[in-house]
Structure 1
């Protein structure tokens, strides 16, 4: 090619840049949403199996879940968002060599963050779970679950950042196939490890953690086999090969990814803080909140599924200089997220038993979980709106607005809940603080993206 010729996107990205927005977004999103739906089914099923172990086990997992969600959101939507956005902008500009090098740098980043999470969980986990209200059997259940899911944190990070790079390059079918296969394995594996069978001993909540880690280990092996030189890599959008470490490429990822990671940390601190505040009200309220707030933990992955397509399309359009297309994509996706999240919240507000009846017959646990839906359900739409515009901001490479939104949400929710708990306020008032934080999160992200509109 002539040295002065402008690089062009490959055929995959030509379609992303020129196709109708909603159908193109659907093609990028549908495989991810299919996988997430399967994973949500597995997660709900796992919650059911853990609930058979009793209230102490449910409460113990509830203590660990916010931190595990933090690792997932930080690696997928935080640093992973930076990886996907950087790769999408490189591919949109037709710079395929840069995209390949970004994949290698993402792997290096994954190893570093994975080790950091393992060490942090080992050193600080017991104190943190106790501070959040874990005592006796509840604390031991938390430690048993934590040991497995954080012991293999590097594996989780590698899977999530490799998947993010592939999504940024427009490859969504391979991660979908790998994750669907893993979800199918988890369905029988999780209860087998939790309750045991024949000579296989029952592991309790530790079995749920081990099953999760086995899933990620299998996914990592599948990714590496597919990407290794001489196999499918020559047909895929990215090539896995060792590259010299380049500070500029780390910066391209971390400029968006680090701010996004701080945003996910703020979100998880918000969850951890309200969990700690609810924990002061006793085991039954903590268990009820833990079961009800699992809907929030399941809603985030669904929104993430749509967000992956948004990051790719907005990043690609921005890299190609199509700023108006990027902005339209952001608002169309935000509208879909608002509508879908609001419907879920209002349905559960009207009929909380649709969820709680699956997991508990304890009246106190059921009441605490139902109260969450009554108070927080109407705010789900604003949270979905804000999160989708957060993903769009990753594609734009502008993260100040989402960072401010996360700070305000933390201050309103965590600060409000902590103060109310110290005043022995009713539990529903703590939940209203969470709802107010979600509304503010959505409104601030709206204002930030609106200000970035093309002129």
Structure 2
């Protein structure tokens, strides 16, 4: 099997200009994620047409589904970091073997977690505050989602392999394609069409599973046939060694990512005390956040491969320059997004809220939490860069500090002092303090890796 060609169109992460390289990698990811996330918004819109209870039921599922997705994301982070460093060190065969083992291990781990979740649906969602009126609806959705979630893992890990090699165009196409399939199937399966019966929110789950299944076929074809990035020829490596490398970063990264749905679960439980209308609106706000933070999320997938490859090649000056430049850009960009959201708050709230109570909470959400999205971007990019530097425990501790020292405590105090308004303001303040900690910590760790190299960096 030949080495990966140096003449292909993907950017040279070790030598090309930093801003142009990150731009070339990030733009395809943004388009792919926009396609995927816009259709998630469409998904929420169609479910909202079924009424407040179905929308609240799906909102309750977010922390749980994101737990499984977070495991997949974490394992993808570990895969990307290991492969990126191997490619930066020009160890092509090692990267291929590591990629193959990572996909197999991730599949097994997600299968186990989903099976446990399937067995514990009632106690999990009762603990989250779901009432008897929404539990049957949650079952309709989650019974299908858990069974089909095993099809989600292969595209996610496969895309991480491609991004680690510098190819962000193919993952964006796969993500966008899956989102398009999901969006087309959503109204057909939710409301029915011709011989297709109306399946309600269960139809939304089935649409997602079908889309993931198609993505599995596409990503395996790309990795095995087109890109030749997978191989089970171990060479001097062992299966156990490859698993250890990936899990050393992947499990802490997964743990860090899983803390986010834990925080979402706690936040949802606090919001639930204000009624099902507040939960429904909070679910809409969570989807708005995914769209508003799309550039940050795209950069969190493209900056780490850049960091990993340059780390593997010993080019830490490029790492520092890319990190600081990206944070400056993100802070400006997210403030502009906040202004746009304020201007569109009336339209957005009317679009997704069918009751005045829901509309009011959506507006409140938009006016408060999105102001801190730039700070949240600093946290996310610092976290992902820690993983790229093979410092997964730093990323895990940073996530724990954010959620359990700042974000949730401040939100709780705000809720006690000023109700739902105070809860949202407290969460935003939590992002501020965590952003300051994350920036100082990452720069300090980067300098500790190679003081001599970083002395040569241009200020």
Residue-by-residue CA offset, 1:302-334 (whole Å, 9 max, x unaligned)? 422122211111100000111111111112222
| TM-score, length of structure 1 as denominator length | 0.91
Equivalent residue in structure 2 for 1:414, among 408, 412, 418: 408
What does 1:379-398 align with in structure 2 at a 5 Å threshold? 379-398=372-391
Q: Are the structure 2 counterparts of residues 127 and 300 from structure 1 closer, same or farther at C-alpha, using a change threshold of 3 Å?
A: farther
1:374 match: 367
- Asked if the contact 2:64/2:261 (under 8 Å) is kept, the reply is yes
1:3 match: none
- Asked if the contact 1:82/1:257 (under 8 Å) is kept, the reply is yes
Q: Partners in 2 of 1:8 and 1:264 — Cα distance?
A: 31
Alignment gaps of 5+ in structure 1: 1-6
- Asked if the contact 1:83/1:253 (under 8 Å) is kept, the reply is yes
Residue-by-residue CA offset, 1:235-281 (whole Å, 9 max, x unaligned)? x2613436475332222222222221111111221111101110111
What does 1:32-431 align with in structure 2 at a 5 Å threshold? 32-76=29-73, 78-228=74-224, 231-232=225-226, 236=227, 238-241=229-232, 243=234, 245-349=238-342, 351-411=344-404, 412-418=406-412, 423=416, 425-431=418-424
Q: Are the structure 2 counterparts of residues 18 and 368 from structure 1 closer, same or farther at C-alpha, using a change threshold of 3 Å?
A: same
How far off is 1:450 after superposition? Answer: 1.4
Equivalent residue in structure 2 for 1:439, among 432, 443, 449: 432
- Asked if the contact 1:83/1:161 (under 8 Å) is kept, the reply is yes
How far off is 1:430 after superposition? Answer: 1.5
Q: Partners in 1 of 2:254 and 2:30 — Cα distance?
A: 22
Q: Are the structure 2 counterparts of residues 131 and 165 from structure 1 closer, same or farther at C-alpha, using a change threshold of 3 Å?
A: same
Q: Are the structure 2 counterparts of residues 439 and 237 from structure 1 closer, same or farther at C-alpha, using a change threshold of 3 Å?
A: farther
Q: Are the structure 2 counterparts of residues 30 and 68 from structure 1 closer, same or farther at C-alpha, using a change threshold of 3 Å?
A: same
Q: Partners in 2 of 1:331 and 1:299 — Cα distance?
A: 21
Residue-by-residue CA offset, 1:61-82 (whole Å, 9 max, x unaligned)? 0000122233334323x22111
Name which of structure 1's ranges 130-139 and 9-18 shifts more when overlaid on structure 2. Answer: 9-18
Q: Are the structure 2 counterparts of residues 339 and 237 from structure 1 closer, same or farther at C-alpha, using a change threshold of 3 Å?
A: farther
Q: Supply the RMSD in Å over aligned alpha carbons.
A: 2.3
How far off is 1:416 after superposition? Answer: 4.3
1:4 match: none
2:28 match: 31
Name which of structure 1's ranges 404-413 and 325-334 shifts more when overlaid on structure 2. Answer: 404-413
Q: Are the structure 2 counterparts of residues 263 and 440 from structure 1 closer, same or farther at C-alpha, using a change threshold of 3 Å?
A: farther
Q: Partners in 2 of 1:444 and 1:125 — Cα distance?
A: 37
Q: Are the structure 2 counterparts of residues 205 and 390 from structure 1 closer, same or farther at C-alpha, using a change threshold of 3 Å?
A: same
Name which of structure 1's ranges 165-174 and 309-318 shifts more when overlaid on structure 2. Answer: 165-174
Q: Partners in 2 of 1:417 and 1:14 — Cα distance?
A: 42
